[in-house]
Structure 1
Amino acid sequence: MDDSTYPWPSKATFITDLLFGSMHLRFSEAQKKAVLSWAHEMGTQNVPTLYALRKAQDHVHSCIGNPTCKVTASSSNIFYINSIDSAITKDYSNPLTCFCMHDYPEDGRGNMSQVHHGSKMLHELPEELLVPSVCINNNIYFQNELLQSTTRFFIATHFFQGNISSHNAERLSLQVLALGHPSKFQHLIPSRAGFAVDPERIILEVSSFKRTYIDLQTNVHLCRFTCR
């Protein structure tokens, strides 16, 4: 057993399974047999059999599950349905792919090369499908909750990524931004105070966030929240 390719039993089995499972190269059973026979006749060592490959695939599926479900329609047509949420979960749990995942839509300024650059992802997603929070310095800030940045109170309604000028004005860097309503603490009547929410929305860098809603609740002197 080669631990570096676990749960595949060997590097040869892993590479062969990777080849035959390629989404861009669809091998028939006859082609798989021909490739393995050719490799064996050329003197290649440790060439797996089709039976060994199927056993390895069954073992992998037993370890991590199989996101593809086979469905036979009433017309006898056969379909394979992939579980999207299961695939995304595996991508996030994979240490090699999790850093390539994009949590937020990106403002491509009219350019589009990936799905997260699309205007629908940026402007037209229903509120329940938006990423609900952002994590900054181990603090989690949620949309539609009051927070405090370095300059103002703010209610974020939408998190996204965009290129903004860095300290060096000649360079742009991709940052997580928040679209939302600036808010201002004010006295309503002598015995009551509250927040005036500006209906116009602005964009702030999430790196400027300093206090979460929980922090503001516990700071009575700052916001004068009362517990009921």
Structure 2
Amino acid sequence: MFLLDTIDNLPRCPVSNSLMQVFLGTLKETGARDVPLLYKLRHTQEKLRQKCGVPSIQCQSELGNVFYMNDIRSIITKDWANPQTRPHIHVYPEVPEGGIREVWHANKWRHKMDTRMLSPMYDAGAGKHFYVNELAKLQDGTFVIPIRWVVVHGEVHADAFTVTIDQSVSHALRPLKQVQQLEAE
């Protein structure tokens, strides 16, 4: 079934129902076991498309031309769910060594982009999650408010404000200065 589906879905090489019937008949004549009927093959392919495929969305241009495009939400969902592609997705801006080579190296991500458009959370493992614009305590006891996650030398750091407690105002927190590349641990 897998090989027949692969042959049937080769790009730029469509296989008609008549040709697929020839393949199936040839397989039966040569003694292959469990050769499916054409109906069963097509039914299985449709179930796979519904379950695992990327749907095409019909669109119409301003001039009335009809075209189809793949659903980008489905593609992104599959990339994030795939254990082989997920490690290659960059969610934080990166301070590169040796100049800008990739889009996530750009200073725009780091200094000009609206922080609401960037990743709001860092997963430090062991059930520890840190969020931007929320108070966090570092291992040395310092309080910070991360505003942006950034990768430096392969490790996640935070652009953050340090926080001090003003004893003259009960329980008031105020940011003193922005700290570049402060590690959120």
Q: TM-score scaled by structure 1?
A: 0.60
- State how far apart, in whole Å, the 1-side matches of 2:40 and 2:108 are: 46
Does the CA-based 8 Å contact 1:182-1:202 persist in structure 2?
Answer: no
1:156 matched residue in structure 2: 146
Partner of 2:85: 97
Paired with 1:17 and 1:108, the residues of 2 have a C-alpha distance of 45
Q: Which runs of 5+ in 1 are unaligned?
A: 1-9, 21-26, 164-173, 209-228
- Within 2, Cα distance between the matches of 1:120 and 1:204? 19
How far apart in 1 are the matches of 2:42 and 2:113? 41
Cα deviation, 1:112-164, whole Å, max 9, x if unaligned, reads 13x3233333333222211111111311111011111023110000012121x
Matched, 1:68 2:59: no
Structure 1 residue 199 displacement after superposition:
3.1
Partner of 1:85: 73
- Work out the CA distance in 2 between the residues paired with 1:100 and 1:87: 15
Structure 1 residue 18: Cα displacement: 6.2
Quote the residue 2:129 is aligned against: 140
| Unaligned ranges ≥5, structure 2 | none
Alignment: residue pair count: 171
1:61-92 CA deviation, whole Å, 9 max, x = no partner? 21135332122446342322333222211222
SS of the residue corresponding to residue 75 of structure 1 reads coil
| Cα distance in structure 1, aligned partners of 2:164 and 2:57 | 53
Say which of 110, 113, 116 aligns to 1:128.
Answer: 116
The residue number in structure 2 matching 1:223 is none
1:50-69 superposed matches below 5 A? 57-64=45-52, 66-69=54-57
1:181 aligns with 2:161: yes
Which residue does 1:16 correspond to in 2?
7
Structure 2 counterpart of 1:159, which letter?
W
Give me the whole-angstrom Cα distance separating, in 1, the residues matched to 2:174 and 2:64: 62
> What is the CA–CA distance in structure 2 between the aligned matches of 1:88 and 1:100, rounded to whole Å?
13
Q: Identity across aligned pairs (percent)? A: 26
Is the CA contact 1:70–1:80 (under 8 Å) kept in the aligned structure 2?
yes
Q: For the aligned residues, what is the CA RMSD?
A: 3.5
Give the match for residue 203 of structure 1.
181
- Distance of aligned partners of 1:11 and 1:65 in 2 relative to their CA distance in 1, 3 Å threshold: closer
Structure 1 pair 145–116 and aligned structure 2 pair: CA distance change class (3 A): same
Q: What is the match of residue 32 of structure 1? A: 14
Are 2:5 and 2:45, in contact at CA under 8 Å, matched by a contact in 1?
A: no
Change (3 A) 1:121 1:193: closer
CA shift in 2, pair 1:193/1:61, >3 Å: same
Code of the aligned partner of 1:199: K
Distance verdict in 2 for CA 1:75–1:200, change over 3 Å: closer
> 1:168 aligns to what?
none
SS in 1 for 2:48: helix
Q: Any conservation in 1 of the 2:8–2:15 contact (CA below 8 Å)?
A: no
